[in-house]
C-alpha cells in the first residue's frame, strides 16, 4: 500500500521492510517515552520487537509513513480483524498530520472497521481517536504498565463526532 497524503511535503506509506526495524524500534521508544516519561521503554525494546513479529506472523501488517525518506510514524493493523495494535508517531512529527494519515491507511487496510484499546489516561490519544470518529465501546484490559484502558471503535458510515 503506497500513496501520497495531502499533507505537506513528500510522504509515502508502505509496508514495513526488514531493514526498517531498527528505526521503527527507535521511533516506538521515542514516541512512548514522550507520552510516559516514567517508564523505561528502552528496556521494553526487545519485547516490542518480538511482539511485532508475533503480530505480523498472525496476519497483521505494519505500515510505515516516511516523510522525505525518514520514518515519521507507523501503524500495526490486522486487516481481517480490524484490530489496531499500535499507532506511533515520532515526537518531531506530532501535530504534523502523520497520525491522521496512518489512521486513513489503517481504514484502507481494514475497511469494515477498526478497533483498538488505548490507555484511559492518555488524553492526547483519546482526543485524537475521538476526532477521527472512534467511539468508546467498552473497557479494555490493563496495559502492560498497569494502566486502565478503554476500547474504541470506528465503523464505516458511522456518524463522526465534531
Of 66, 99, 71, nearest to 84 by C-alpha is 99
Among the ranges given (69-73, 98-102, 103-107, 156-160), the one the predictor scored with the smallest mean pLDDT: 156-160
Domain that holds residue 86: 11-154
Average pLDDT, integer, range 34-61? 94
Residue 49 lies in a domain: yes
> What count of residues does the chain have?
162
Residue 18 DSSP label: G
Residue 126 lies in a domain: yes
Residue 159 lies in a domain: no
Residue 4 lies in a domain: no
If you average pLDDT over every residue of the chain, what do you get?
90
Does the pLDDT at position 7 exceed 80? no
Residue 141 lies in a domain: yes
The angle formed by the CA atoms of residues 95, 14 and 83, to the nearest 5 degrees, is 75
Sign of CA dihedral 101, 99, 155, 117: positive
Task: At 150, list the grid cell.
Answer: 478503554
pLDDT of amino acid 119: 92
pLDDT digits (tens, 9 = 90+) for 84-99: 999 999 999 999 999 9
For residue 137, which phi and psi values (nearest 5 degrees)?
Answer: -120, -5
Dihedral, CA atoms, 68, 127, 143, 55, nearest 10 degrees?
Answer: -40
Residue 88 lies in a domain: yes
Query: What CATH number should be reported for the domain holding residue 50?
Result: 3.40.630.30
Does the pLDDT at position 160 exceed 90? no
pLDDT of amino acid 158: 73
Residue 22 lies in a domain: yes
118 and 139 in contact (C-beta within 8 Å)? Answer: no
* Number of structural domains found in the chain: 1
Residue 108 lies in a domain: yes
Amino acid at each position: 500500500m503506497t500513496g501520497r497524503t495531502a499533507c505537506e511535503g513528500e510522504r509515502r506509506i508502505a509496508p514495513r521492510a526488514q531493514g526498517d526495524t531498527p528505526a521503527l524500534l527507535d521511533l516506538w521508544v521515542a514516541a512512548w517515552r514522550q507520552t510516559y516519561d516514567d517508564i523505561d521503554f528502552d528496556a521494553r525494546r526487545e519485547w516490542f520487537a518480538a511482539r511485532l513479529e508475533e503480530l505480523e506472523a498472525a496476519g497483521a501488517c505494519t505500515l510505515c509513513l516516511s516523510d522525505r525518506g525518514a520514518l515519521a510514524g507507523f501503524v500495526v493493523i490486522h486487516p481481517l480483524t480490524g484490530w489496531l495494535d499500535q499507532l506511533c508517531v515520532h515526537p518531531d512529527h506530532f501535530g504534523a498530520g502523520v497520525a491522521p494519515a496512518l489512521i486513513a491507511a489503517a481504514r484502507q487496510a481494514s475497511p469494515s472497521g477498526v478497533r483498538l484499546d488505548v490507555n484511559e489516561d492518555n488524553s492526547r490519544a483519546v482526543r485524537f481517536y475521538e476526532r477521527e470518529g472512534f467511539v468508546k465501546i467498552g473497557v479494555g484490559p490493563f496495559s502492560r504498565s498497569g494502566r486502565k484502558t478503554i476500547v474504541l471503535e470506528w465503523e464505516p458510515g458511522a456518524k463522526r463526532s465534531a
